[in-house]
Chains A and B, each alone.
Chain A
Amino acid sequence: MPAKAAFFDVDGTLVKTNVVHVYAYYAMNRGSVLGIAGRTLSTALSVPLFGVMDVVDRKTFNEFFYRYYAGLTEDRLVTIAQDMFEDVLQPALFEQSQDLIDQARRSGCKVVLVTGALDFTMRPLARHLGVDDMIANKMQFVGGKATGKVIPPIIEGANKANAIRAYCVKEGLALDQCHGYSDSSSDYAMLAVVGRPTAVNPDMRLRSIARAYNWPILDLK
């Protein structure tokens, strides 16, 4: 039996939240008390905008909001990531996410998260779920401080598919035996590249794609 992996998108697939909430959390927890108040206000005002941008174009959205990390130190970001996991991500985990991951492992899959979020924000979640590996965006740091730029290529859309293909080559996995899980039609490429795609809590477009291609549809609770 060739080695295989199960690739899981995170936002909306394993957790109810999405990257907009994660950003909001960071924005509200990054500096002084006065700063927090100001930023909370500006975040509150800009979150709806982010939401719209996210729907329209995930790539532009990612590039736009990662600039807000500029100037933060790496250790600070890691600390906030832990808090954010406990406050935002853990409560938002679907109850059945862990079961699905365990089932993938029992079937002999290596479990890999594939997410457009930044790696340090997802690391506590990855530890909690007990996954084997993670494909995520990486922030550029200069002198221990974030530049606000993400090391290209940005993991989203079609790049997720490329990243998965490259990962399989690197790890010696049979791509056609691998499983992919996502909720969003923006991840169509990622699902199309693996041999065993599954739509999880899919949006309307992905649901119709999944029906058209006879992919299984899971509704996690």
Chain B
Amino acid sequence: MRPFKTLQKLYDEESQVVITEKGSPPRALFYGEGFLQEDLPVGTRVIFPRPPLAGVPNVKAAIRWAINHPEGMEPLHALLKPGMRLTCVIDDISVPLPPMVTPDVRQSILEVVLELAADSGVDDIHLVIANALHRRMTEGEMRRMVGQKIYDEFYPDRYYNHDAEDPDGIVALERTSHGEEVSVNRRVAESDLIIYVNVNFVPMNGGHKSMGTGVSNYASLRHHHNPKTIRASDSYMEPKASALYRSNERIGRNIDKHLKVFHIETSLNNRMFGGPTDFLAKKEEDYTEGDRLKFQAMRYALSKMPRAAARKVLNAIPAPYDVTGVFAGATEPAHQKTLEASWKQYVVPVEGQSDIVIFPIPFISPYSVNSILNPLLVQVMGLGYFFNLNRGVPLVKKGGVLILLHPAYDEFDPEHHPSYIEFFNRLLPETRDSMKLEHKYEKEFAENPSYVHLYRKGNAYHGVHPFYMWYWGENGRQHVGKVIVAGAENNHVPALMGWDRTDTLTEAIEEARGFMGRSATISLLRIAPTVMVDVK
């Protein structure tokens, strides 16, 4: 083991970018439900997340202050009238990742808002989860999100999941100037006031996307959840570079024209790990002897456990995020403040793109909470989200190589992802072309009565969701020259995805260098916690 002092002198403590040198320590890297410990080639640029920003000292006070001093709207108390119909729309379990320690910030917001509403003589209140085409949250998850008291008072009649396939539950508003259909949940459409309770995890959440996507249906979503829009987006995380954002903006503005929506947005810091796993947020140069032992013990234990057990253990560790800001009011000005807070936490400036970029893929994604990160979700993490964690300029050069670290196992959750199974086994062997998939099969999956049933009555993602996951990786696929999945435990998953595979990261780097040239530059995005790059 290298002496601590030698390691410390190798990098600037203030910088989030470390260039690997001869004496640099091996990196602790996520690899699905396990970890790898890898030495990187000298000269590799390792980009670390920023340290967590300080949270607000009193979350409830910050919420009260925000709703009393909203952006571009009257204070909330002035909007509440006795006898009115009020609906609180709440972000679903897809954020934050992992779920935060209780009380969830959504619970804190609702406790403040519901008390104020009751004092203002508002009795007709519904709480609707903005799950769009995501799976319905389970009772346990719903209880955890809002706390026992609110759950007991509202569930199940007045606290429920949005149902995008309820034939009587959707209202169509006027189309946008681009002809996009605008559909919203009927209860929401017929409310005098809507309070959107947001928890912002990355800059693509919140703003017009909240209402435009969260309480909408397939007819409306297909106008922006399609390969053409994705190809026209340079990044999902930078509104100016995102055609997806612009479409949501048009839809959202139409919604704001017809409905009164009061947004309450919150930004979180990136304190993803606490207690026994806090070392994961550190640079390896900063590891103490204790941290190294903890890492080795955890790595060993996870590698010996059955995968399902490792998943259970990892899913059971909530994240001790702090709330860094609460912003309320009209959609656009409130969201602008959220974006600023989000960028402040996540953005790390880096000099230039790299020929080869390494993404370690962790066990969790927005679509696999309490479930399995199946191959399509591995794809969406690498080519969809991580590739897009920038402000318009990707970390990897055009035609470069992405290396994903994941076992790429062929495992699916039939309860949460039934249509993914058919998509993977039936459609991908035929084509990986998003345009063809959209044209030939999307409608069939969206309307398949079995998938509609599983979405409405079970806890399954909508039948069309695997298509969206595939489209999500579209601009990544169009951009990179090659994807290698290092440590893939089988051949067929990478083959179906159109990826190369290697047993180890070293072999993957060798292959990537063979493709890009011996002098190829290499970057590793040391994620999680969340980090975004600003490529200069």
Which residues from A are CB-within-8-Å of B454?
216, 218
Q: Is A16 an interface residue (CB 8 A)?
A: no
CB-based nearest A residue for B418: A216
* Cα-based distance from A116 to B464 in the complex (angstroms): 34
Out of B425, B447, B450, B456, name the residue touching A216 (CB < 8 Å).
B450
Classify the secondary structure of A's interface with B.
mixed
* Cα-based distance from A100 to B451 in the complex (angstroms): 10
Q: Is B167 an interface residue (CB 8 A)?
A: yes
Which residues from B are CB-within-8-Å of A104?
449
Q: How far is the CB of B267 from chain A (nearest CB, A)?
A: 39
Which residues from A are CB-within-8-Å of B447?
106-108
Q: Is A60 an interface residue (CB 8 A)?
A: no
Q: Please count how many residues in chain A sit with their CB below 8 Å of the partner chain's CB atoms.
A: 24
* Cα-based distance from A1 to B443 in the complex (angstroms): 10
* Cα-based distance from A59 to B386 in the complex (angstroms): 58
Q: Is A198 an interface residue (CB 8 A)?
A: yes
Q: Is B75 an interface residue (CB 8 A)?
A: no
CB-based nearest B residue for A218: B453
- Whether B457 and A196, one on each chain, are in contact in the complex, defined by CB atoms closer than 8 angstroms, is no
Restricting to B380-424, which residues have a CB under 8 Å from any CB of A? 414, 418-419, 421-422
* Cα-based distance from A214 to B418 in the complex (angstroms): 8
* Cα-based distance from A104 to B421 in the complex (angstroms): 21
Which residues from A are CB-within-8-Å of B425?
214
Q: How far is the CB of A65 from chain B (nearest CB, A)?
A: 32
* Cα-based distance from A76 to B449 in the complex (angstroms): 37
Out of A102, A196, A211, A214, name the residue touching B450 (CB < 8 Å).
A196
Which residues from A are CB-within-8-Å of B457?
96, 99, 218, 221
Q: Is B458 an interface residue (CB 8 A)?
A: yes
* Cα-based distance from A219 to B459 in the complex (angstroms): 12
- Whether B449 and A107, one on each chain, are in contact in the complex, defined by CB atoms closer than 8 angstroms, is yes
Q: Is A6 an interface residue (CB 8 A)?
A: yes
Q: Is B303 an interface residue (CB 8 A)?
A: no
* Cα-based distance from A211 to B414 in the complex (angstroms): 9
Restricting to A84-125, which residues have a CB under 8 Å from any CB of B? 96, 99-100, 102-104, 106-109
Out of A107, A181, A219, name the residue touching B458 (CB < 8 Å).
A219
Greatest chain A CB density within 10 A among B414, B448, B452, B453 is at B453
Which residues from A are CB-within-8-Å of B452?
103, 106-107
Restricting to B426-469, which residues have a CB under 8 Å from any CB of A? 443-444, 447-454, 456-458
* Cα-based distance from A108 to B448 in the complex (angstroms): 10
Q: Is A179 an interface residue (CB 8 A)?
A: yes
- Whether B414 and A6, one on each chain, are in contact in the complex, defined by CB atoms closer than 8 angstroms, is no
* Cα-based distance from A100 to B422 in the complex (angstroms): 20
Q: How does the 8 Å CB contact mask read for A179-221 relative to B, with 1 for contact and 0 for none?
A: 1010000000000000010100000000000010010111101
Which residues from A are CB-within-8-Å of B449?
6, 100, 103-104, 106-107, 109, 179
* Cα-based distance from A33 to B456 in the complex (angstroms): 48
Q: Looking at chain B, what size class is its interface with the partner chain?
A: 20 to 34
Which residues from A are CB-within-8-Å of B450?
179, 181, 196, 198, 216, 218
CB-based nearest B residue for A100: B453
Which residues from B are CB-within-8-Å of A1?
443
* Cα-based distance from A219 to B421 in the complex (angstroms): 18
Q: How far is the CB of A97 from chain B (nearest CB, A)?
A: 10
Assess A103 versus B453: contact at CB under 8 Å? Given A108-B447, A196-B448, A211-B414.
yes
- Whether A217 and B453, one on each chain, are in contact in the complex, defined by CB atoms closer than 8 angstroms, is no
Q: How far is the CB of B168 from chain A (nearest CB, A)?
A: 11
* Cα-based distance from A177 to B447 in the complex (angstroms): 12
CB-based nearest A residue for B422: A214
- Whether B414 and A99, one on each chain, are in contact in the complex, defined by CB atoms closer than 8 angstroms, is no
* Cα-based distance from A122 to B471 in the complex (angstroms): 45
Out of B167, B414, B418, name the residue touching A106 (CB < 8 Å).
B167
Assess A217 versus B414: contact at CB under 8 Å? Given A100-B453, A103-B449.
yes
* Cα-based distance from A181 to B458 in the complex (angstroms): 17
Restricting to A20-70, which residues have a CB under 8 Å from any CB of B? none
Q: How far is the CB of A70 from chain B (nearest CB, A)?
A: 40
Out of A99, A108, A109, A196, name the residue touching B453 (CB < 8 Å).
A99
CB-based nearest B residue for A177: B444
Which residues from A are CB-within-8-Å of B167?
102, 106
* Cα-based distance from A196 to B422 in the complex (angstroms): 10
Which residues from A are CB-within-8-Å of B414?
211, 216-217
* Cα-based distance from A108 to B447 in the complex (angstroms): 8
CB-based nearest B residue for A103: B449
Which residues from B are CB-within-8-Å of A211?
414
Which residues from B are CB-within-8-Å of A107?
447-449, 452
Q: Other than the known A100-B453, A107-B452, A219-B458, what 8 A-B pairs have Cβ atoms closer than 8 Å?
A: A103-B456, A109-B449, A177-B444, A181-B450, A196-B450, A214-B425, A216-B454, A217-B414
Return 16 A-B CB contacts under 8 Å, by A number: A99-B456, A100-B453, A103-B165, A104-B449, A107-B448, A109-B449, A177-B444, A196-B448, A211-B414, A214-B425, A216-B422, A216-B450, A218-B454, A218-B457, A218-B458, A219-B458
Which A positions have Cβ atoms within 8 angstroms of B?
A: 1, 6, 96, 99-100, 102-104, 106-109, 177, 179, 181, 196, 198, 211, 214, 216-219, 221
Sorted nearest first, the 6 A-B pairs with minimum C-beta distance are A107-B447, A103-B449, A104-B449, A198-B450, A216-B450, A214-B421
